[in-house]
């Protein structure tokens, strides 16, 4: 048996392959950008064939001649994105509809008007929002020229990205892991598989859906075509759940926040099914032998993309990293507050119609004040989430951060200050890939459980401790709350 773990990380803007050893050290890494298709405002599509061929190319580049050493494959992926393919030919039938796509907003609004949301939320932990997969499947069935007929003749296969990749790697297995399946609106949090009642609510044919399986274990096998032998696939996990595992948040209450394009916060809820009264999401964190551990999740749609906006649209900064020096160059933001609702507001507000606000401008407000206010907005949004989590009975005791923005140490300190909690940033920042490696290592029996694997495979971390006076914190939160009212 080999001793390395090959992780495929099929993200939104790029796909990657990363090779790990059993201690969690990265041995190799290959990456390809993915084309983003925006056929209309609010629509976002991917070419699933491109995702497969580029993932395969990365996999070949990284595995190279040492493919015989691979003990197991782990896959992590952008969640909610839907692929429709022909199960006989193995080809996509349409462009994949990406998680960011808003085209089903009207359909969601209609279902809400019919009073369906409370039931859907109680059963699936999710809300009626275009973000989730089920409404995207419905759209394809209704509007795509190839998908509807394929459903009628029995050749249609639906799946999220990990499901599509396993189908291609294995040469025909049609499965989806519980962490990805829990983002579809079709899986009850307490149900083993997709639910007939939920499928009929969204009018999705059961026959087109994959079988729901564990996140780690002997899940599938590659065909011998790719490595000259069959390689077990032992980990399948959605990207945010994977980062939670990669951050070692394996006990109830432990929390991570990923600050990339958006910000995604998950708190481990153990075996208790999360029920939110504050518009947070309940989701499956991981599953083995049918036994689930859950998480409570809150996402802000705009995080690093606000910094990109300052750079690319406003031309206020030359690089994202420059915001750190700008923020340090002044004592405070001079009462400038930014509400980053450029794509509406996510949890806990869920106001798709909200728009961004810059308030408190004076003649003294220059680029430093605006850059600082943009970074401060991350802590403000996170503080909003923290209070929703606390009200839902999941208070945080510390926050483990990752994602591209966590490179900004001013922001990390500001998070600690505004949350009044320790913030920890791991030295090895690729927590999403590491989480899938941890799942695959346990699934391949290299470790007895996720805790043992995380202990062996995770490295050190840097801690940021709170040191802000309460009055300063409260004044900032009050200013943010006021600005939020105008968004």
Question: Which residue lies nearer to ligand ADP by CB, 231 or 373?
Answer: 373
Tokens coding 411: 């922001």
Least spacing, CB of residue 404 vs ligand ADP, in Å: 2
The 159-198 site mask, x for binding ligand ADP (CB under 6 A), equals ----------------------------------------
Which ranges constitute the DSSP H helices of 87-146? 105-113, 117-124, 133-143
CB of 308: closest distance to ligand ADP in angstroms? 4
Name, in order, each residue with C-beta under 8 angstroms of 464's C-beta and a sequence gap of 6 or more.
Answer: 409, 412, 413, 415, 416, 422, 423, 424, 425
Instruction: Give residue for tokens 């999401």.
Output: 281
Using CB under 6 A, which residues numbered 267 to 306 contact ligand ADP? 304-305
DSSP reduced 3-state for 303:
coil
- Give the residue among 261, 352, 265 at the shortest CA–CA distance from 308: 261
Cβ proximity to ligand ADP: between 1 and 321 the closer is 321
Q: Which of 320, 361, 461, 487 binds ligand ADP (CB under 6 A)?
A: 320
Among 209, 307, 421, 441, binds ligand ADP (CB under 6 A): 307
Q: How far is the CB of 426 from ligand ADP (least distance, A)?
A: 14
> Which range of residues in 57-65, 182-190, 316-324, 349-357 is near ligand ADP by CB under 6 A?
316-324
Residue nearer to ligand ADP on the CB measure, 312 or 420: 312
Burial class (CB in 10 A: 0-12, 13-18, 19+), 315: exposed
Quick one: 128 or 310, whose CB is closer to ligand ADP? 310
Quick one: which segment of 160-168, 189-197, 227-235, 317-325 binds ligand ADP (CB under 6 A)? Answer: 317-325
Parallel, antiparallel or unpaired: strands 175-177 and 263-270: unpaired
- Closest separation in Å from C-beta 402 to ligand ADP: 8
Which residues, including other chains, have CB under 8 Å from residue 90's CB and lie 6 or more apart?
167, 168, 172
Number of chain residues interacting with ligand ADP (CB under 6 A): 17
- Residue 13 binding ligand ADP, by CB under 6 A: yes
Closest residue to ligand ADP in the complex (CB):
404
Shortest separation between residue 457's beta carbon and ligand ADP, angstroms: 20
CB of 287 to ligand ADP, least distance (A): 25
Residue 308 is a binding residue for ligand ADP (CB under 6 A): yes
Q: How many angstroms separate the CA atoms of 112 and 130, rounded? A: 12
The secondary element (H helix, E strand) that includes residue 33 is strand 26-33
Q: Which is nearer to ligand ADP, 320 or 461 (CB)?
A: 320
CB distance 437 to 24 below 8 Å: yes
Rounded CA gap, 65 and 378, in Å?
44
Of residues 215 through 274, those in contact with ligand ADP by CB under 6 A are 260-261
Kindly state the smallest distance separating residue 34's Cβ from ligand ADP, in Å.
11
Least Å distance, CB 197 to ligand ADP, is 34
Residue 322 Cβ vs ligand ADP, minimum distance, rounded to whole Å: 8
Q: Minimum Å distance from CB 431 to ligand ADP?
A: 10
Q: Which is nearer to ligand ADP, 199 or 377 (CB)?
A: 377
Residue with tokens 């990990």: 162
* Closest alpha carbon to 260 in 4, 9, 1, 64: 9
C-alpha separations of 86 from 135, 137, 159, 176, 194 in Å: 20, 14, 11, 16, 20
Taking phi first (over 0 means left), then psi (-120 to 50 degrees means alpha), and beta for anything else, what does residue 292 get?
Answer: beta
**Pick 121 or 432: Cβ nearer ligand ADP:** 432
Distances (CA, A) of 65 to 70, 170, 244: 11, 21, 32
Query: Within positions 398 to 427, which residues make up the interface with ligand ADP, using CB under 6 A?
Result: 403-405, 407-408
CA 274 to chain CA mean position, Å: 18
Contact between 78 and ligand ADP by CB under 6 A: the answer reads: no
Structure tokens at 59: 């996999």
Pick from 35, 207, 321, 364: which binds ligand ADP (CB under 6 A)?
Answer: 321
Q: Using the rule CB under 6 A, is 369 a contact of ligand ADP? A: no
Q: How many residues does the chain have?
A: 487
Structure tokens at 453: 């694997």
Closer residue to ligand ADP (CB): 79 or 87: 79
Q: What's 407's DSSP letter?
A: G
Cα–Cα distance measured from residue 213 to residue 210, given in angstroms and rounded to the nearest whole number: 9
| Smaller CB separation from ligand ADP, 321 or 465 | 321
Please report, as ranges, the residues that interact with ligand ADP according to CB under 6 A: 11, 13, 260-261, 304-305, 307-308, 320-321, 323-324, 403-405, 407-408
């Amino acid at each position: 048996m080999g001793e390395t773990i090959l992780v495929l990380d099929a993200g939104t803007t790029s796909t990657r392959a990363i090779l790990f050893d059993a201690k969690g050290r990265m041995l190799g890494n290959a990456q390809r950008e993915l084309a983003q298709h925006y056929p209309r405002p609010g629509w976002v599509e991917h070419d699933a064939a491109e995702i497969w061929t580029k993932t395969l190319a990365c996999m070949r580049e990284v595995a190279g001649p040492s493919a015989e050493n691979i003990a197991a494959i782990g896959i992590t992926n952008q969640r909610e994105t839907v692929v429709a393919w022909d199960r006989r030919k193995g080809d996509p039938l349409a462009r994949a509809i990406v998680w960011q796509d808003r085209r089903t907003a009207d359909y969601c609004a209609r279902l809400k008007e019919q009073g369906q949301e409370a039931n859907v939320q109680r059963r699936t932990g999710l809300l009626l929002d275009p973000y989730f997969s089920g409404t995207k499947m419905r759209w394809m069935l209704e509007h795509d020229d190839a998908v509807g007929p394929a459903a009628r003749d029995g050749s249609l296969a639906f799946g999220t990205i990990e499901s599509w990749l396993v189908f291609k790697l294995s040469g025909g297995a049609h499965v989806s892991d519980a962490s990805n399946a829990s983002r579809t609106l079709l899986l009850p949090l307490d149900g083993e598989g997709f639910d007939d009642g939920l499928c009929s609510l969204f009018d999705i044919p059961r026959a087109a859906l994959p079988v729901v399986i564990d996140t780690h274990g002997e899940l599938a096998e590659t065909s011998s075509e790719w490595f000259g032998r069959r390689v077990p696939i032992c980990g399948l996990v959605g990207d945010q759940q994977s980062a939670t595992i990669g951050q070692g948040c394996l006990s109830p209450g432990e929390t991570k926040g990923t600050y990339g394009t958006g910000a995604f916060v998950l708190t481990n809820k153990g075996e208790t099914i999360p029920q939110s009264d504050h518009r947070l999401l309940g989701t499956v964190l991981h599953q083995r032998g049918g036994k689930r551990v859950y998480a409570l999740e809150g996402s802000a749609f705009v995080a690093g993309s606000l910094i990109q906006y300052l750079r690319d649209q406003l031309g206020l900064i030359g690089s994202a990293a420059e915001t750190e020096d700008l923020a340090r160059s002044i004592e405070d933001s001079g009462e400038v507050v930014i509400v980053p609702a450029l794509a509406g507001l996510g949890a806990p507000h869920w106001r798709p119609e909200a728009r961004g606000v810059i308030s408190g401008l004076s003649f003294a407000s220059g680029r430093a004040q605006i850059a600082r206010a943009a970074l401060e907005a991350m802590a403000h949004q996170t503080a909003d989430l923290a209070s929703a989590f606390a009200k839902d009975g999941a208070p945080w005791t510390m926050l483990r951060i990752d994602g591209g923005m966590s490179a900004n140490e001013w922001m990390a300190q500001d998070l600690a200050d505004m949350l009044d909690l320790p913030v920890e940033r791991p030295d090895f920042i690729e927590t999403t890939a590491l989480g899938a490696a941890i799942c695959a290592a346990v699934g391949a029996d290299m470790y007895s459980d996720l805790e043992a694997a995380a202990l062996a495979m995770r490295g050190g971390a840097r801690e940021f401790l709170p040191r802000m006076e309460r009055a300063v914190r409260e004044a900032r939160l009050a200013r943010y709350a006021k600005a939020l009212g105008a968004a």
